[in-house]
Amino acid sequence: MFVDSHCHLDCIKLDEFEDDFDVLMQRCLAAGVDHMLCVAIDLDKYPRMLRLVQHYPQVSVSAGVHPMADPDKDVDLATLRAVADSNSVVAIGETGLDYYYDRLDRAAQQQRFRTHVQCAVDLGKPVIVHTRDAGEDTLAILREENASQCGGVIHCFTETMAFAEKALELGFMISFSGIITFRNAEALREVARQVPERHLLIETDSPYLAPAPHRGKQNHPAYVRHVAQQLAAIRDTSVEQIAAITSANYFRVFGRC
Ligand SMILES: [Zn+2]
């Protein structure tokens, strides 16, 4: 029923799942999560991530290095391209800019982001974009690197409608996380009401950002239902309708594998 368009399955602590990844997966599938996109954060941990999910056709994977990953995890275009040029990799990322934490200097983040967009355009795969306190630069780089040719998603969306409109012009999807369930997120809920249906996605970004009523706990894909419920309430429609729209949108952009 649901597609979780962005989660980090390999980062979820398994103690509440009998220390067994299969138990976590069964819990997600039983909760109606039919598909998950497991998003890479660096290339060191990547082989382990692939091993964990390899027996689950319900899980797709991306390849990339997160903007907040250490400087020594940096990646050049040829290396990224070699990893990502596989039928089992459906997207590039996550990448983007994070000026809130500023763990890596801005010029280095921008270069890393450009490398990812170039790879996505090169391989014709959508790019998964993280942006925090960096809206203008994020849009500028997407434009300069011709990201409309590969498309992609602004994940865990927390920006304004003005930003959303510019991302939509580039053909991007807008993915909402558990943040739309937070009490103080009224402005974001207004954006979530306005984004055109064909561009909507839902995600958990688990293990981070658990939605209400689980806020503060470890998140996992089964909780994507709460994001869908909130989005249905905001848009005055049913959870089933939100599930159908966001699942169809996901498979149109990321494909089936
Ligand atoms: Zn993420």
Q: What CATH code is carried by the domain that includes residue 234?
A: 3.20.20.140
Q: For residues 122 and 37, what is the distance between their CA atoms, to the nearest angstrom?
A: 21
CA 95 to centroid of ligand 1, rounded, Å: 9
CA 7 to centroid of ligand 1, rounded, Å: 6
Query: How many distinct structural domains can be found in the chain?
Result: 1
Contact in structure between 14 and 24 (CB atoms under 8 Å):
yes
Contacts of 54 (CB under 8 A, 6+ apart): none
Contacts of 140 (CB under 8 A, 6+ apart): none
Positive or negative, the CA dihedral 239, 245, 247, 250 is negative
CA 25 to centroid of ligand 1, rounded, Å: 18
CA 14 to centroid of ligand 1, rounded, Å: 18
Range of the domain at 131: 2-254
Query: In a structure prediction context, what are the per-residue pLDDT tens digits for the chain, which is 257 residues long?
Result: 999 999 999 999 999 999 999 999 999 999 999 999 999 999 999 999 999 999 999 999 999 999 999 888 889 999 999 999 999 999 999 999 999 987 789 999 999 999 999 999 999 999 999 999 999 999 999 999 999 999 999 999 999 999 999 999 999 999 999 999 999 999 999 999 999 999 999 999 999 999 999 999 999 999 999 999 999 999 999 999 999 999 999 999 999 76
Q: For residues 154 and 147, what is the distance between their CA atoms, to the nearest angstrom?
A: 12
Q: 218 is written with which tokens?
A: 């470890």
CA 22 to centroid of ligand 1, rounded, Å: 21
CA 233 to centroid of ligand 1, rounded, Å: 25
CA 91 to centroid of ligand 1, rounded, Å: 13
CA 149 to centroid of ligand 1, rounded, Å: 23
Q: What angle do CA 181, 211, 21 make, to 5 degrees?
A: 160
Q: Confirm whether pTM is higher than 0.85.
A: yes
Q: 178 is written with which tokens?
A: 């558990």
pLDDT digits (tens, 9 = 90+) for 123-179: 999 999 999 999 999 999 999 999 999 999 999 999 999 999 999 999 999 999 999
